[in-house]
Every structure is written in C-alpha cells, then in structure tokens.
Amino acid sequence: MDGALRSLNGVNFIDLIGTESNINLESDLNDLLSLCYYHNSNFLLLDDKNLSPEFFNLKSGLAGAAMQKFANYQVKTAILLPPNAEQSERFRELMYEMNGSNHFRFYENREDAEIWLTS
C-alpha cells in the first residue's frame, strides 16, 4: 500500500486518492493499518477507486470488516463517493448508518471529507 501523507489544520492524514492502492481482501486492511502506524497517523482518506467491487457487495463482508477494523484501531476514515455512484439499497443503508459514527463516513466531495477528518 502506498499513500501520500498530507496535513491540514495540524492533523496528518494518509491520502490514498489517486494511488493504485486497492482494498480487495481483508489482508489489504492490515496493510492500510500498517501504513497508518508507519506514518503515525490515525486518519485515512479513500475514494471509490481504492475499493474493489466486493467492498460494495455486503455479502462479501469486506466493508463490514473494514469498518470494524478501523473502529477497533481508532482509524478515522473518510471515503469519497461520487453523488451518482450506483450502490445497492443495503449499501446505502449502511452508508447512512456509518455517517452517524465517529470513525467512518462517506462524502461526495474532498473538502467536506478533509474537514471532518481534521476536526
């Protein structure tokens, strides 16, 4: 996994947007956690291009595993999804539920995601 270390409002976060890093398997989640600890940051910014189709298929368990791992290890994670992205009704329900959490949220634009991550 590779990502850029960025800083905003004195908070360092790992930015995977524009990288070729992808979450395809649960082991990729461990690689992301290692990247966070390597950079001494508990803040992560991803977009839909970093996520495999399995992530959006709740039957695969990948999204649930990601949310659980990131919450357990206190990694605040924002995911950018375009407003017209097609998701299942169940995934939209999960997004709605997660957007009320302190560890995992979905955003349509980078600015809002960065503000949440760094506040």
pLDDT single digits (tens) 23-71: 999 999 999 999 999 999 999 999 999 999 999 999 999 999 999 999 9
Residue range 68-87, pLDDT digits in tens: 999 999 999 999 998 888 88
- Interacting residues of 45 by C-beta distance below 8 A, sequence separation 6+: 6, 13, 14, 15, 16, 17, 77, 78, 80, 110, 113, 114, 117
DSSP 43-111: EEEEEGGGB-HHHH-GGG-HHHHHHHHHHHTT-EEEEE--TT----HHHHHHHHHHTTSSSEEEESSHH
- 3-state class (DSSP) for residue 26: helix
Domains recognised in the chain with CATH numbers: 4-118 (3.30.750)
pTM of the model: 0.92
Question: Which among 109, 53, 54, 104 has a CA at the least distance from the CA of 80?
Answer: 109
